Amino acid sequence: MNKNKTTESGKCPVMHGGATASSMTNMKWWPKALNLDILHQHDHKTNPMGADFNYRETVKDLDITALNKDLHALMTDSQDWWPADWGHYGGLMIRMTWHSAGTYRIADGRGGAATGNQRFAPINSWPDNVNLDKARRLLWPIKKKYGNKLSWADLIAYAGTIAYESMGLKTFGFAFGREDIWQPEKDTYWGSEKDWLAPSGSAGSRYSGERNLENPLAAVMMGLIYVNPEGVDGKPDPLKTAHDIRITFERMAMNDEETVALTAGGHTVGKCHGNGDADLLGKEPEAADIAEQGMGWNNNTKRSIGRDTVTSGIEGTWTTHPTQWDNGYFSMLLKHDWQLKKSPAGAWQWQPVNIKEEDKPVDVEDPSIRSMPIMTDADMAMKMDPAYREISERFANDAEYFSEVFARAWFKLTHRDMGPKVRYIGPDVPQEDLIWQDPVPVGMTGYDVQAVKEKITASGLSISEMVATAWDSARTYRDSDKRGGANGARIRLAPQKDWQGNEPKRLNKVLTTLEGIANDSGVSIADIIVLAGNVGIEQSAKAAGFDIDVPFSPGRGDATDEMTDADAFDVLEPLHDAYRNWLKDDYSVSAEELMLDRSQLMGLTAHEMTVLIGGMRVLGTNQNDTKHGVFTDREGVLSNDYFVNLTDMNYTWQPSADNLYEVRERKSNKVKWTATRVDLIFGSNSILRAYSEVYAQDDNQEKFVLDFVAAWTKVMNADRFDLA
């Protein structure tokens, strides 16, 4: 072979053995294979800071006063390469913060501002985020100055808050403590559309029936944060847009009043940019030429900055004074009639029919020129929808009340995914406990744990009852937004006490017993629930020949009904639990995919997931006491029997019904056990089988017990942020 032979393109070939492009992965041949990578993202190998770096400790040394001063100065330090509108970057910084925090959705807690993920694909290249790369570049000198003491995630969230302050808003507060990720998130599902901004009914549409938006999605289109500002599928109709807004903001955990306040407050300052030809914009950051150095949407044929900027395609401001916090939005919206017009970039927008010259905003570069204000279809929804209109008029008549509601809603928007207040850092953390923070009182720590364990042991509760109840209490935790978990013992409150997945009859029996012990001992029921689970595991391990103490950290508190927004906990209801081998219904998503999603939300790795499944099975903790996957003749003993029998070639696996299989002896064809898909997957998936084989080995019985205990303790303590 001639090594110097050129390719058809005329370039010399080179040895290329690495799968260096995302399209080159081997797994493309099996697109339905489980994406176990979501359990191992953000590995220490991606983090340049090293194992000893602790941002949440480092940020405590941040000079917040100096940072605040620098950010205020930045707002009016206009740069020639990207000049500030009216000499103030406030609108741009607010949009950046908003679009970072606004990706949050309550259904699975994913998205939000807590990780700085706006720096990475796909979010950095969404059509709705055009030119936000410029905002982050403007912030780079500040990030560079404060270095490791200030994460990008905190800075992105803080910049918008300070922007509002600089424009006259009295903000509600701010908390630091968000930790950066270092590569794109792999776990978040943003929709299955094949194209950006694909209208309803397109391939992979997120809508079904009468405009039913797919859960857990909140945005109405691929590439948008919220709704289409031009109207549903780009067709203006404020009442139809109002429908989309209500669903979208509900899925962000916002009520109608917060929705109106956020919409109005976001549009009180800044402007839309559409004074040009959108077709002249270059590629988004992730697709742009290497010479663009990570920036996108650049127009290299015309000026394309200042008044000639093209971002959303809509052109204009909402208020007369777009660098001032005031009540001008409602004055503009409610006191004028509006008509549809097209922007210079060809986007639909609303324009006042009659307006005084002095009520028009001035040009971003030349104060001698006045421009026509605008409203989007989303703004018109605030006027046309009856409920939104009533709230808008209330705000219009009480500017102080509007400012207060907005400040609180903005704080909620930018902090919703940070978890409880104990995780907040900094001098501006509000003292008030807010119900959406899921507050939990501090519990007792200095009690005799061993004495309480003895009372639990003498209670007569079975191993499966104790372990299942502790698991059910803790399994609601999701690392995405730090909600749920065992702390607070909300499993005894509505709505959790009535969830089908919690087996209310069994739960009530166990809680009655454990609450008696808690009252006698002066200890929180939250601690008792977890401790009882530990007692059950210790008993089962002893039966397997291993004398162990399951780690326990006292100090959980008991939440009350008054501390609990019951409606907000509905989204945490388990509809499936592979660990207890249960599905509430027959779902379009496979049981093993549901298991993977829940395990990722719980912060578990693949081998932790594996060992927990195997241990829970032999402990007999299945929902409703089914025997699916209980591959042991020693139920209640913490043995590795599940894996031994799973990998034993003396058995065959045969389907018997939907999601049910029979495990038969190969020679006699006699049914030995039954199983579900989430049992089969640990033998069929090559990666999971490799883990299963580890735990099936004769020399790894003790390793199995120790690994199970470690994974169990991780789940029980997942929400113990006070221990960090």
Phi (first) and psi of residue 10, to 5 degrees: 85, 5
The CB density around residue 20, as the number of other CB atoms within 10 Å, is 7
**Spatial contact of 462 and 621, defined as CB atoms under 8 Å apart:** no
Sign of torsion, CA 435 437 438 443? Answer: negative
Nearest to 704 by CA among 629, 613, 625: 613
- Kindly name the residue from 16, 42, 99, 243 that is annotated as catalytic: 99
Give the Å distances, CA to CA, from 122 to 155, 224, 436, 534: 20, 11, 29, 42
Q: Are strands 316-317 and 271-272 parallel, antiparallel or unpaired?
A: antiparallel
Cα-Cα-Cα-Cα dihedral sign, residues 602, 604, 606, 612? negative
DSSP state of 291: G
State the DSSP H helix or E strand holding residue 380, giving kind and residue range, or none if neither. helix 377-384
Cα angle 234-235-236, degrees, rounded to a multiple of 5? 115
Q: Which two tokens stand for residue 245?
A: 């807004």
The kind and range of the H/E element at 699 are: none
Work out the burial of residue 31: count CB atoms within 10 Å of its CB; fewer than 13 is exposed, 13-18 middle, 19 or more buried: exposed
Q: Do residues 675 and 659 touch, judged by C-beta distance below 8 A? A: no
The DSSP code for 693 is H
Which residue's entry shows tokens 């609450």? 515
| Sign of torsion over alpha carbons 616, 619, 621, 622 | positive
Residues 255 and 387: beta-carbon distance below 8 Å:
no
- Which amino acid does the sequence have at 28? K
Sheet holding 651-657, edge to edge: 651-657, 660-665, 671-675
Q: Could you give the 3-state DSSP secondary structure of residue 569?
A: helix
Pairwise CA distance, residues 675 & 27, whole Å: 27
Dihedral over Cα of 366, 371, 377, 379: its sign: positive
Give the 3-state secondary structure of 342-365: ECCCCCEEEEECCCCHHHCCECCC
Residue given tokens 């993202």 in the structure block = 41
Identify whether 336 is a catalytic site residue.
Answer: no
Q: Which residues contact 266 (CB under 8 A, 6 or more apart)?
A: 94, 95, 98
Burial string for 603-617 (b: 16+ CB within 10 Å, else e) reads: ebbbbbbbbbbbbbb
Give one word for 522, left, alpha or beta, with left for phi > 0 and alpha for psi -120 to 50.
Answer: left
* DSSP line for 243-259: HHHHHHHHTTT--HHHH
Which tokens is 128 given? 């709705």
Residue type at 289? Answer: D
The helix or strand, by DSSP H or E, that contains position 162, with its residue range, turns out to be: helix 152-166
List, in order, residues 6 or more apart from 489 with CB less than 8 Å away.
473, 524, 525, 526, 529, 556, 558, 559
> Active-site residues: which are they?
99
